[in-house]
Amino acid sequence: MYAQLERDFERFKRGLPPDFAAHVRDTYRIDLTARYLGYSIPHPIGKGSGQLSLNQDQLETDRAAGLAFVVLKTVIAEDPAGEQAMAAWAIHESRMRVERRRSADGREGWTVTWKGRGWDRSFEEYLELVRAAAEFTRSSTMVVVPSVKYHLPHLGEPFRAAEYRHTTEQLARAWGSEPLPLEKDFSPTLAGDALADEKEQILRWLREVPQQIRQSVPTPVRLGLKLMNARFDDRFQLEMLRASSSADALIVFNRLWDSAQGVAYGGYDLSERNLRVLQLARQAELATPALVGTGNVSSGRSILDYARLGCESVEIHTYFQLPLAEYPAIDGSRPQRALHALVFHPADGLIAGMLQLESQGSLERQGGELRFLDLVNTSTSFAPRPAPSA
């Protein structure tokens, strides 16, 4: 199988097969089926919210590449009059800068820096993109879901129910079927804002925001919370997990905040903290909703690191933006080149990692197949919530 993997790695440098997950299953007897927000997806690799998911051309490129899911750029909620409590986040993006970042332990990773925050076009333009997202999802070619930043009150301040109701109603109408899949983005820039100075304030958001969203529409909502890395210690991250129990999924965790430079960042410091917190949650036998890993996912082995701590899939952003010379593939879009390395790299890819886990006795074949979700389900002490019905 390793010899076959070497051949596939070289062969696919000019392009992946149309259904590479089926090829992996046929050739290696490895089932990469994963889950995201209650959807069964052919493999665990998706794209997180950001500048790479703000128009239909990008979605078409991602579908052609073979991504399993995409989260749209985060829109800022508004009330019927167009007022936005979080308007400070609806600012135009500066040019993204992809750069190296050295971690505290000296490892060289990548980060993407930009000053913008959320969707800065009209809400109607966003709803048009959501209609396209719903068509992608209904066609079963790729799951595409919207992302929202809603009003977050100070302690003692009420939620702006009109903003929650109007925004969610419009999204549900644009989606056009039930249930509405949705990510609520607790962004890394929020972690650097004075709003997030109070621990109890953050925990209140995590406990009450899901209820505010769900009660704003009669339509069922599949809700994922993308949790930030707060400016507190690891124990508080666990408190955030506990407070988020009413969500359907948790995306763990958003980028770190550099208060000196006033920017969010990634790299190995991010994945080190995220995995450390997930390990602490596992040791505490903390029950959570379904988990989606994110943060410095730059190899198949890093996907497995998150999976072995309970993550059913991963969201990637930075790895889809590297200089072309950083990918071993010599043709194709960046998402396709990234998938080639993440899945087929003969040393660090997803297939190689799962074969090694099998040789170590950490993963066993069922019915002759290695299954990605077996790794998720057997390597963690988490008690995930049942997936919402399709």
What type of residue is 370? L
Backbone φ, ψ for residue 263 (5° rounding): -140, 155
Using DSSP's 3-state secondary structure scheme, residue 172 falls into helix
| Contact present, 240 and 206 (Cβ < 8 Å) | yes
Per-residue pLDDT tens digits for 97-142: 888 989 889 999 998 886 656 788 999 999 999 999 999 999 878 9
Q: What is the pLDDT of residues 266-320, one digit of tens each?
A: 899 999 999 999 999 999 999 999 999 999 999 999 999 999 999 999 999 999 9
Q: What angle do CA 359, 364, 367 make, to 5 degrees?
A: 130
Give the DSSP letter of residue 14. Answer: G
Chain segment 311-348, per-residue pLDDT in tens: 999 999 999 999 999 999 999 999 999 999 999 999 99
What's CA 291's distance to the chain center, in Å? 10
Cα(252)–Cα(277) distance, rounded to whole angstroms? 9
Q: Write down the pTM of the prediction.
A: 0.93
